[in-house]
Structure 1
Amino acid sequence: MPAYEITIEKDACDGIFACLTRDPRFVEAADGLATVDPDADPVYDCEGDVTDTAERVVATFDDDRIDEAKQAAAACPTDAIIVEEVGE
């Protein structure tokens, strides 16, 4: 199964949170912007690596939920979220 990476560009995110309704791993961060928290999903036990810097949030997963992440990215009206396969 290919790994995929979710990137949230913080300067493009405006806190509308349309992503939260498409993928429960997306949550509101303390700064009022979206972030990714693998432990936030109440149904699936997720494992992922998340790096949160001043510019962006980058999360890497190797599960079969890329479609949910892509739906969250598509719902973002400011195009702040990028989802791409990064290998196996």
Structure 2
Amino acid sequence: MPRYEVTIETDACDGIFACLTRDPRFVEGADGLATIDPDGDPIYDGDGTVTDADGRVVATFDDDRIDDAKRAAAACPTDAILVREVGE
């Protein structure tokens, strides 16, 4: 199963939240911008790690939901989200 990383550049996020409707792991953060919460999705049962530092939210997942994350990234009108495979 591919391991992948989802990055949100918070400086580029403008809070439109198109990503939230594509992948429920994307949620509104306390700052009014998008962030990632693996527990925000009631059907997600994988292991996910999330860091939030230096204007960047980075989450790493090891599951079969990379297409959901890619749809969320494609929906972002400011291109603030990057999804990339980082190994197996």
Do both proteins adopt the same fold according to a TM-score greater than 0.5, normalized to the shorter chain?
yes
Deviations, residues 6-62 of structure 1 (Å, cap 9, x unaligned): 000010000000000000000000000000000000223232000011310000001
Structure 2 SS opposite 1:82? strand
One-letter code of the match for 1:14? D
Residue 80 of structure 2: aligned partner: 80
Aligned length, in residue pairs: 88
Residue 20 of structure 2: aligned partner: 20
- Please give the alpha-carbon distance, in whole angstroms, between the structure 2 residues aligned to 1:86 and 1:43: 23
* Superposition TM-score, scaled by structure 1 size: 0.96
Q: Is the Cα–Cα contact under 8 Å of residues 38 and 44 in structure 2 kept in the other structure?
A: no
Residue 59 of structure 2: aligned partner: 59
Displacement of 1:83 in angstroms is 0.2
Displacement of 1:76 in angstroms is 0.2
Q: Is the Cα–Cα contact under 8 Å of residues 39 and 46 in structure 1 kept in the other structure?
A: no
Q: Which stretches in structure 2 are left out of the alignment for 5+ residues?
A: none
Residue 70 of structure 2: aligned partner: 70
Q: Is the Cα–Cα contact under 8 Å of residues 46 and 62 in structure 2 kept in the other structure?
A: no
Q: Which stretches in structure 1 are left out of the alignment for 5+ residues?
A: none
